[in-house]
Chains A and B, each alone.
Chain A
Amino acid sequence: MINQPETRDLLAEARQVLLESVAPEVAGEHKYQALMIANAMGMAIRELEQREQGQPEQTDRALRAYLSEQSLDETAAEAERDLARAIRERRLDGADPALRSVLRTLTESRLLINNPGYLKR
């Protein structure tokens, strides 16, 4: 199905109207709400962009590669849940750079959507 303009484009335009036309005209609680709405819309836009670029699959591959190296079941449907459980049960070495690297990849992938500015701090 072709459904133009794209959702990402709609959201981006709506966010721009909110920030450039609406937000400057309101004050106090409404200003705060406008900025929160823009923030939420920004996350939705970035999530769509990340999906288009195949970012979630890349993160998932890194996670599965690590689990496979550790002889854990990398085919499990919920790899991140398995990783959390293996850490909780102390089956993985917390000091292992490979573990820390996969934890960082997961966290950075979320921040690319939630707050990319935080990665630059």
Chain B
Amino acid sequence: MSALADTFSAYITRQCGARAARVTEFDKLSGGAIQDNFGLTLELEGGRRPGRQEFVVRQDAPSGVAESLSRAEEFRVLQAAFRAGVTAPEPLWLCEDPEVSGQVFYVMTRAAGSASPRKLVKADFSEEQRWNIVRRLGAELARLHTVRPPQASLEFLVMPDPDNPALSRVALYRRYLKEIDEPHPVLEWALNWLEDHAPEPGPTVLCHCDFRTGNYMMDGDELTAVLDWEFAAWSDPCEDLGWLCCRSWRFGADDREVGGIGDRQDLLDGYREVSGVDLDPATVSYWEVMALVRWAMIALQQARRHMSGEQRSLELALTGRMVAQMELDLLNQVQELEDGQ
């Protein structure tokens, strides 16, 4: 551990042009089975960032499976989001030379607070605080969605195919389901419904694609950083809003539709204030159904990793048993949408 701290410290010292550095804190942060996140606090002498500096170093875990963006790609997405004004950790340096630490890694600033979803959902916020947080979430997404293709630094992100992000997702999930040799009639039924009800696509924008409670840091009632950019993709703006509203991410606070925190209308209002765009609530609801299917697909794949022996894990095995929850939500939600029309 301390050898790793010295490695990162030496690297940062060089990047800052500092005379010397002293490691005051170094610890492995929780979260991320594919990446390791390290908190590193340095006392830097001279150079471009003198004094006490808190960093996060993110690198592939030794057993890392590349199912999402690589660290280098993630760094570029984070740069694009940061430049667009999203409250995210400032991406500082990407080290692609595996000789340095054994893995590709990057360094970013450390945000204050906690991302724990259970803590956040149980927090004793006033209605006004909730209103503020949810509008802020909408505003952050609106800023992110100003990033549009083509972007030279993001050429690794594929465009939706067909040229409709919803139908592109349906095709992808049908492929996943075919690969998984296990019958899931509810998911097949939901995919048909999603195909038949696909809305007119909005603009194609940079979506976070895992923007949910648990993936943004809060310091009290203040959002300090949007984290975990490895699933970013070109997609429909409503994909991000639907994912955030998905029942699976309310952590038991089911009546607070936006991530267990607050109301949907406030999210849309916060989005409109920054972007000038009035998103259609029906399209957000559609993407919420998509979110349930997507989470079910992820859970099925995680269970597969356990069942195949690739990564035996009780947590992954139990995740597989959660699929029926998403299936029940799908049956209920489609019915509610149809009854409401």
Known: A36-B318, A121-B254. A94 touches B186 (CB 8 A): no
| Measured CA separation A90–B188 after assembly (Å) | 10
Q: Are A103 and B183 in contact (CB under 8 A)?
A: no
Complex contacts, B188 vs chain A, CB 8 Å: 84, 87-88
Chain A contact residues: over half helix, strand or loop, or mixed?
Answer: helix
Cα distance A36–B183 in the bound complex, in angstroms = 26
Measured between alpha carbons, how far is A37 from B314 in the docked complex, in Å? 8
Question: Is A110 located at the chain interface by the 8 A CB criterion?
Answer: yes
Residue of B196, B314, B322, B331 touching A114 (CB-CB under 8 A): B322
Task: State the Cβ distance, A31 to closest chain B Cβ, in Å.
Answer: 13
Q: Are B318 and A87 in contact (CB under 8 A)?
A: no
Q: Could you say which residues of chain B place their CB within 8 Å of the CB of A61?
A: none
Q: Is A39 an interface residue (CB 8 A)?
A: yes
Residue total for A at the interface (Cβ-Cβ under 8 A): 30
Specify which of B192, B314, B324 is in contact with A94 (CB 8 Å cutoff). Answer: B192
Q: Tell me the minimal C-beta distance from B199 to chain A in angstroms.
A: 18
The answer, yes or no, to whether A111 is at the interface (CB within 8 Å) is yes
A43 located at the interface, meaning its Cβ lies under 8 Å from any Cβ of chain B in the complex = yes
Chain A residues whose CB sits within 8 angstroms of the CB of B183 once the complex forms: 78, 80-81, 83-85
Query: Would B328 and A119 count as touching, CB distance under 8 A?
Result: yes
CB pair A103–B314 under 8 Å, yes or no, is no
| Residue from the list B174, B189, B317 in contact with A99, Cβ < 8 A | B189
Question: When chains A and B are docked, how far (Å) is the Cα of A111 from the Cα of B328?
Answer: 9
Give Cα A100 to B193, complex, Å: 12
CB proximity of A116 to chain B, nearest CB, Å: 11
How many residues in B have their beta carbons less than 8 Å from beta carbons of A? 23
Interface residues of A in 106-121 (CB under 8 A from B): 106-108, 110-111, 114-115, 118-119, 121
Tell me whether A22 is interfacial, beta carbon within 8 Å.
no
State the Cβ distance, A113 to closest chain B Cβ, in Å.
8
A30 contacts the other chain (Cβ, under 8 Å)? Answer: no
B189 to chain A: which residues have CB within 8 Å? 87, 94, 99, 103
Contacts of A40 in B (CB 8 A): 314, 317-318
* B residues neighboring A (CB under 8 Å): 174, 183-186, 188-189, 192-193, 196, 254, 314-315, 317-318, 321-322, 324-325, 327-328, 331, 335
Q: Which residues of A contact B (CB under 8 A)?
A: 33, 36-37, 39-40, 43, 78, 80-81, 83-85, 87-88, 90, 94, 99-100, 103-104, 106-108, 110-111, 114-115, 118-119, 121
Q: List 17 A-B contacts (CB under 8 A).
A: A33-B314, A39-B318, A78-B183, A84-B188, A87-B188, A94-B192, A99-B189, A100-B331, A104-B328, A104-B331, A106-B185, A111-B324, A111-B328, A114-B322, A115-B325, A118-B328, A119-B328
**Assuming A43-B321, A114-B324, A118-B328, what are 20 further A-B pairs, CB within 8 angstroms?**
A36-B315, A39-B318, A40-B317, A78-B183, A80-B183, A83-B183, A84-B185, A84-B188, A88-B188, A88-B192, A94-B192, A99-B189, A100-B331, A103-B189, A107-B324, A107-B331, A108-B328, A114-B322, A114-B325, A115-B321
